Structure 1
């Protein structure tokens, strides 16, 4: 049996899940791996990916915009959700190019990289579908109606053992409209579809208050630690249209 060419590059995205991953059963959604805590070593540097956009240059032509960096969980969840649904088949890029940019906003330790790559694959067209959609110049974007922490998340936190969820771990359920447009028989066509899904993410916990004043020789923290980039990061995604409520 022949293996699809599309599966080979996708397999290269999948990394071996490191020890320390725990799984939490969330009613109505399924099983998701969640970080137990930061690792002491930094992941391999993937900043050289050709399709990413440096911070502050998200509108550069010929590049896929990077997911906006933010340490505010709702703001980050909204930015990632919009990036997840934003693609254009006439851009010259393929689904794996969009996947690579989205993975840049994933868990920097690499623990959840494999699961997140598999999750994203279910949100993007397959390679064959992409080629067909490109004939009609199909593009897509998302308009968000609501982004809220689901009530079920509080139950998941209550059931978690001490230390099972890393500080700053949370979930946001996104409800919105997926918009697509293209050209059919020389005429523009559009379609709108309601979507809902949950983003599991981790943000830097708020710093503990301290009475100590930094010495003149000490520089204020830049928001980075252990070599990892500042801001929130995505852990996993729920199935599309099967969110936590």
Structure 2
């Protein structure tokens, strides 16, 4: 069960983490920082399907908007849960009426229940989401994004990380899955439907305690996964 105090102010947490992300990325905290060491800031996610050309047409939003973003299904199966996290991280629609913070909240709903890793996880998520300014530009093109997973496996180096971890350093059931796939984006440009795709890989660090649902610990830098 998640601690109420750890879940009470997710939106504020994400906003603060987004504002101070450079500092957090340099210092590094939690299990991912311990295992991997300090990391560099992730490259920004690309803008709209085309970065040059005439002004985009106004967005064409569906008159029926979803009332909420799909949640990540609870699971005791590590790979199933990791795939669910990846899908939630890479799936969004600028015409849905939601903002990047709303999509980030979905992942924080299944974060470390002790709250220890939540600040670091919020910082990780922020590097995957468009900024508010980029979101506004993408929204003009009615841009949406979805994920196609091509593989999910436990990286070879994870066994070494487990062997080198001190007693109590990692939570019960700690696991890592490197997810590879294709990020698909689509939108409108000058009245035409356009699309773009890009291959990616990253690692999801999770924990699946015995007889309990899995939860997220941290995310690696995009395209810098454990091998």
Task: Please indicate, yes or no, whether the TM-score normalized by the shorter chain is above 0.5.
Answer: yes
Structure 1 position 113 matched with structure 2 position 121: no
Taking a change above 3 Å as real, the CA distance of residues 82 and 9 of structure 1, as seen in their structure-2 partners, is closer
Structure 1 position 188 matched with structure 2 position 193: yes
| Separation (CA, whole Å) in 1 of partners of 2:222 and 2:192 | 30
1:36: which partner in 2?
none
TM-score calculated relative to the size of structure 1: 0.69
TM-score calculated relative to the size of structure 2: 0.74
Please list, as runs of the form range in 1=range in 2, the aligned pairs for 1:73-112 lying within 5 A after superposition: 73-112=78-117
Please list, as runs of the form range in 1=range in 2, the aligned pairs for 1:150-229 lying within 5 A after superposition: 150-205=155-210
Deviation above 6 Å: which 4+ runs of structure 1?
none
Structure 1 position 123 matched with structure 2 position 105: no
| Separation (CA, whole Å) in 2 of partners of 1:238 and 1:185 | 36
Q: Is 1:13–1:114's contact at 8 Å kept on the other side of the alignment?
A: no
Ranges in structure 2 where 5+ consecutive residues have no aligned partner: 1-11, 20-28, 41-64
Taking a change above 3 Å as real, the CA distance of residues 79 and 200 of structure 1, as seen in their structure-2 partners, is same
Cα displacement string for residues 92-126 of structure 1 (whole angstroms, at most 9, x for unaligned residues): 01111111111101111111110000000000000
Instruction: Work out which of the two has the higher radius of gyration on C-alpha atoms and give 1 or 2.
Output: 1
Ranges in structure 1 where 5+ consecutive residues have no aligned partner: 1-6, 15-19, 32-59, 206-222, 224-229
Please list, as runs of the form range in 1=range in 2, the aligned pairs for 1:43-54 lying within 5 A after superposition: none
Q: Is 1:24–1:160's contact at 8 Å kept on the other side of the alignment?
A: no
Taking a change above 3 Å as real, the CA distance of residues 8 and 160 of structure 1, as seen in their structure-2 partners, is closer
Taking a change above 3 Å as real, the CA distance of residues 150 and 189 of structure 1, as seen in their structure-2 partners, is same
* CA displacement at 1:68 relative to structure 2: 1.2
Please tell me the root mean square deviation across aligned C-alpha atoms, in Å: 2.6
2:34 corresponds to which of 21, 24, 36? 24
Q: Is 2:184–2:197's contact at 8 Å kept on the other side of the alignment?
A: yes
| Separation (CA, whole Å) in 2 of partners of 1:239 and 1:21 | 14
Structure 1 position 138 matched with structure 2 position 143: yes
* CA displacement at 1:164 relative to structure 2: 1.6
Q: Secondary structure at the match of 1:141?
A: strand
Greater fraction of residues in helix: 2
| Separation (CA, whole Å) in 1 of partners of 2:155 and 2:202 | 11
1:232 corresponds to which of 206, 209, 214? 214
